[in-house]
Structure 1
Amino acid sequence: MATEMESALIFLGTGSSGSVPSMSCLIEPSDPPCSVCTQSLSLPPQSNPNYRCNTSLLIKYYSQTDATQKYILIDAGKTFRESVLRWFVFHRIPRVDSILLTHDHADAILGLDDIRAVQPFSPTNDIDPTPVYLTQRSMERMETVFPYLVKKKQKEGQEIRRVAQFCWNIVAEDCNQPFFASGLKLIPLPVMHGEDYICLGFLFGNKDRVAYLSDVSRIPASTEYVISKNGAGQ
């Protein structure tokens, strides 16, 4: 486990959209049974490499600028709550400072409602909103899927409900337009997630460079060039 003055990458999930074990494999087992899903139940999740939640990464980033620890979350999918119980507790992660969304599919966004559990409690929602960085396409999806999480003017007499508080920030699908999240510089890495859909990866790191790509069927030449030019591992 990293010390308080170190940075680290914590993989909250490396599984498919349906996660592992597959429900269908367990309720309608094949003959012979699927070995991966069977093995995924043989040990507790914390010590079982075959038990996998939706793909997600937590960047534990020590900021030299203000000498504070930052926690940057990439994607909050359907299994986010389970990932918090499994890994936030184990690694003593107290909060989330910023959120990056790679795309707007269920396995990347449907856990956003549970972010309120890692935000300070206020019965009037009087807290600093968590910055979220996403593309314009994903923002439009948020307005449809989570209208109550997209800030709207409170109607007169409307009851205040405790929901996650976010500050939405649009980023470009362009390697040449980097942005900062909690003081960390990130370069968007557009990749194809099927030939009709663009998903973002991210390039980051100062001493060590990291290229994070979660959902990708093809890497465009322009994105591949940026990764190779910056000497990043994947």
Structure 2
Amino acid sequence: MHPMNGDGVGISNPVELIFMGTGTSSCVPHVDCLTRPPEAKPCHTCLAALTPEGKRNARRNTSAVVRLRGAHSENVTILIDCGKSFQSAAVEWFPKYGLRRIDAVLITHAHADAMNGLDDLRGWTLHGAIQPFIDLYVSMNTFKEVQRAFPYLISKEYASGGGDVPEFKWHIIEEGVPFEIGGTGIQITPFAVHHGRIFTPAPPVDMPITPSSLSPASTAASSPKVPGTPIHNGDLPTSPPTQAIQPYLCFGFIIQDAFTYISDVSHIPDHVWAMFESRGMTPPVFVLDCLRILPHTSHYGIEDSVRTARRMKAKRTYLLGFSHDLHHDDWVTITEAAGGEKPEGSKLAMLDKYGLRGLHEADTVWVRPAFDGLRVIVHPDGSVRDEAYL
């Protein structure tokens, strides 16, 4: 890990984060809103998303790209999540920001909005169009769910049709165990938060795994990764039936001490907070879930998000994962209030409508809504710059 400077930032070159998507699983706009009959109440957020001036309301599945320099001054591009809307996001943002090769994909969890775009990565690897393969870093539970949903992504003999599938190398990562992206020197620390609950255990998977496709990720203390013991179907643990309520776990990531990223969360366990605090630093940038005003079974509401941002004390906190309940400009007003601004007139009335007047009365914190295509840069001195908020 790079030595930390006076601001506690262990980076030696600028690190970029580009938001590929900032919406909920349904994305914004909603088809049902765009096809409502004339007599129905219009959805101003979804309608605004179709206009140039309201483009920040158009939100795809949560996803981000981190671009930074490796230990040998090479450019390294890391994709976080590859959900249902990844293809259209890549078409829009990869050319704009000069992105091409993907050096690693980190999957937070096995929901459709985080992994159902993996098949689209054939555009990178088919016939070596951009690269021969892509390294994927996932938990064992996520690996098993990919195996269940898309067996041909794990074992190519399950492909059909023409057999054109993406080429992956799978790496199993564990909560709290830092790992390195290849031999780049880039350090990632995964941690698990709650994202709602598990309603019933999934049935066991009954298919072989291609041994060469799977290995543990190299730890932060190791040099270049060495393939581990192959995992076969008989080695995979199965979940016994249970009546107890179990949390559904979703990975967050600390990336090179520049970003802490939590896209889907309903609760952060105490041991994760202890891990944050043991690092003796606060991140320059904190990316955090916020579905809507009110809390949800599997997501934070705005008061949860602001409370968590105040505890994290990052220089800047960007919220993502929004539904279509509120317009982007309303989210700006709400987050500005959390930063101490005293709204007046219609802005104050909007806060009163949702019972949020007290947001500006507590400790101030810099929070803003992220939007698709927003680029944030963390500099080696710990300063943060984006292209929307001064």
What TM-score results when the alignment is normalised by the length of structure 1? Answer: 0.85
2:189 aligned counterpart, secondary structure: strand
CA RMSD of aligned residues (A): 2.4
Q: Match for 1:102 among 71, 92, 108?
A: 108
Q: Match for 1:9 among 17, 31, 40?
A: 17
Shift of 1:94: 1.2
Q: Match for 1:90 among 78, 88, 96?
A: 96
Query: In structure 1, what residue type is equivalent to 2:81?
Result: D
1:193 aligned counterpart, secondary structure: strand
Distance 2:135 2:165 in 1: 15
Q: Match for 2:51 among 33, 42, 54?
A: 42
Matched, 1:168 2:170: yes
Query: In structure 2, what residue type is equivalent to 1:100?
Result: L
Shift of 1:161: 2.8
Q: Match for 2:41 among 32, 41, 61?
A: 32
Point out which structure has higher relative CO (alpha carbons under 8 A, 6+ apart).
Answer: 2
Distance 1:122 1:58 in 2: 21
Matched, 1:81 2:87: yes
Shift of 1:228: 3.5
2:148 aligned counterpart, secondary structure: helix
Query: In structure 2, what residue type is equivalent to 1:140?
Result: K
Distance 1:226 1:122 in 2: 40
Q: Which residue of 1 aligns with 2:120?
A: 114
Q: Match for 1:193 among 175, 192, 195?
A: 195
Q: Which residue of 2 aligns with 1:205?
A: 256
Q: Which residue of 1 aligns with 2:27?
A: 19
User: Is the Cα–Cα contact under 8 Å of residues 122 and 162 in structure 1 kept in the other structure?
Assistant: no
User: Is the Cα–Cα contact under 8 Å of residues 95 and 119 in structure 1 kept in the other structure?
Assistant: no
Matched, 1:146 2:150: yes
Distance 2:112 2:126 in 1: 25
**Which whole-Å deviations, capped at 9, do the CAs of 1:90-110 have from their partners, x for residues lacking one?**
111012111000000000001
Distance 2:116 2:107 in 1: 11
Query: In structure 2, what residue type is equivalent to 1:150?
Result: I
Q: Which residue of 2 aligns with 1:179?
A: 179
Larger Rg computed on CA atoms: 2
Q: How many correspondences in the alignment? A: 218
What TM-score results when the alignment is normalised by the length of structure 2? Answer: 0.52
Q: Match for 1:132 among 127, 130, 136?
A: 136
1:20 aligned counterpart, secondary structure: coil
Distance 1:116 1:41 in 2: 30
2:275 aligned counterpart, secondary structure: helix
Shift of 1:31: 3.4
Query: In structure 1, what residue type is equivalent to 2:248?
Result: Y
**Which whole-Å deviations, capped at 9, do the CAs of 1:152-198 have from their partners, x for residues lacking one?**
5699xx997331100111111x22x1111243211112000014200
Matched, 1:216 2:280: no
Query: In structure 1, what residue type is equivalent to 2:91?
Result: L
Query: In structure 2, what residue type is equivalent to 1:130?
Result: I
Query: In structure 2, what residue type is equivalent to 1:36?
Result: T
User: Is the Cα–Cα contact under 8 Å of residues 98 and 132 in structure 1 kept in the other structure?
Assistant: yes
Distance 1:81 1:136 in 2: 25
1:187 aligned counterpart, secondary structure: strand
Distance 1:221 1:79 in 2: 33
Query: In structure 2, what residue type is equivalent to 1:133?
Result: Y
Q: Match for 1:67 among 45, 69, 73?
A: 73
Q: Which residue of 1 aligns with 2:229?
A: none
